[in-house]
């Protein structure tokens, strides 16, 4: 097992154990992060078992999406809404949230989870450190940086949800690649050190934007709940929250464009020929 794969395995086991003991939104978040890190390491490998395992992790991650979305919506709503408005919406939000959380706990206790973790541990042991290290070589990082560059240009040109989403995924993949690469003591990698910092900034801004997209969908789900129709104050609070979320989405994308403009030389350096 490489240092990276060992850390991922340890974190997956620890976060699962913590969640089964007491649900915490940060534990779920870190569980999801480590699933994404595992999938990022598997992606460049051509072995069919790697592709199959990557799909297994992806299916398990999908089963945690709703809980993460409801967690972030509840946290955001509690922060931005006046207390009385949040009190009127909270019972509905918490009801959906709790159901999504229960699906996570069911997933973590399932045979699928145990089997996938077992497949992961077996595969990384069989393949050894060299196979996983190949996916984090400088050349591979530069290719990922080029994908970030191309997707950023498309997103800035089209400015639609699909393009921003593809750009977000490209940034995330590059960030995870760089996190699994030693960038110390080699002047040739100075530009990649800088883009790793840039990726962190972009991930934060794009993550905030993506939250507004999924939160908008969750509000539409709440809007169709019959319980809302009998509470005019809750309906009004929902409308106010929707307006705030839309404004937050615009602000998040403004942060993204500001970062891209300010750090454009960093991105250009990262994709230059070695």
pLDDT, position 137: 47
pLDDT, position 174: 87
Degrees, nearest 5: CA angle 39-140-206: 60
String of DSSP letters for 191-256: HHHHHHHHHHHHHHHHHHHHHHHHHHHHHHHHHT-HHHHT-HHHHHHHHHHHHHHHHHHHHHHHHH
pLDDT, mean of residues 220-239: 91
* Residue 128 burial (10 A CB sphere; 0-12, 13-18, 19+): exposed
d(CA 149, CA 171): 9
pLDDT, position 254: 97
pLDDT, mean of residues 255-269: 89
In tens, the pLDDT along 45-89 reads 888 999 999 999 999 999 999 999 999 999 999 999 999 999 999
Q: Which of 199, 186, 188 is nearest to 149 (CA)?
A: 199
- Cβ atoms 142, 270 nearer than 8 A: yes
User: Whole-number mean pLDDT of the chain?
Assistant: 89
pLDDT, position 190: 63
In tens, the pLDDT along 10-36 reads 999 999 999 999 999 999 999 999 999
pLDDT, position 4: 80
Confidence of residue 125 (pLDDT cuts 50, 70, 90): confident
- Cβ atoms 267, 152 nearer than 8 A: yes
> For the chain, what is the largest distance between any 2 Cα atoms, rounded to a whole number of angstroms?
65
d(CA 84, CA 103): 30
String of DSSP letters for 71-120: HHHHHHHHHHS-HHHHHHHHHHHHHHHHHHHHHHHHHHTSHHHHHHHHHH
Whole-number percent of the chain with pLDDT over 70:
89
- For 103, phi then psi, to 5°, come to -65, -35
Query: Does the pLDDT of residue 273 top 50, yes or no?
Result: no
**Which range is least confidently modeled, 7-21, 130-144, 147-161, 187-201?**
130-144
């Amino acid at each position: 097992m490489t240092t990276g794969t060992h850390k991922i395995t340890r974190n997956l086991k620890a976060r699962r154990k913590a969640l089964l003991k007491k649900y915490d939104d940060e534990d779920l978040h870190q569980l999801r992060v480590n699933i994404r890190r595992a999938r990022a390491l598997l992606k460049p490998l051509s072995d069919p078992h790697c592709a199959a395992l990557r799909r297994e992790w992806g299916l398990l991650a999908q089963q945690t999406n709703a809980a993460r979305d409801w967690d972030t919506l509840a946290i955001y709503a509690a922060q931005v809404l006046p207390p009385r408005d949040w009190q009127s919406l909270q019972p509905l939000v918490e009801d959906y949230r709790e159901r999504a959380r229960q699906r996570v706990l069911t997933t973590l206790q399932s045979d699928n989870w145990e089997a996938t973790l077992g497949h992961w541990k077996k595969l990384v042991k069989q393949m050894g450190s060299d196979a996983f290290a190949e996916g984090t070589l400088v050349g591979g990082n530069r290719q990922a940086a080029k994908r970030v560059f191309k997707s950023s240009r498309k997103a800035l040109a089209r400015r639609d949800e699909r393009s921003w989403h593809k750009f977000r995924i490209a940034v995330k993949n590059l960030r995870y690649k760089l996190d699994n690469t030693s960038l110390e003591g080699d002047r040739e990698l100075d530009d990649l050190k800088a883009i790793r910092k840039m990726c962190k900034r972009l991930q934060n801004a794009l993550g905030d934007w993506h939250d507004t997209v999924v939160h908008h969908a969750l509000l539409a789900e709440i809007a169709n709940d019959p319980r809302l129709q009998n509470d005019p104050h809750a309906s009004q609070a929902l409308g106010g929250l929707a307006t705030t979320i839309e404004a937050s989405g615009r602000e998040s994308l403004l942060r993204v464009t500001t970062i891209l403009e300010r750090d454009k030389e960093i991105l250009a350096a990262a994709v230059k020929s070695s």
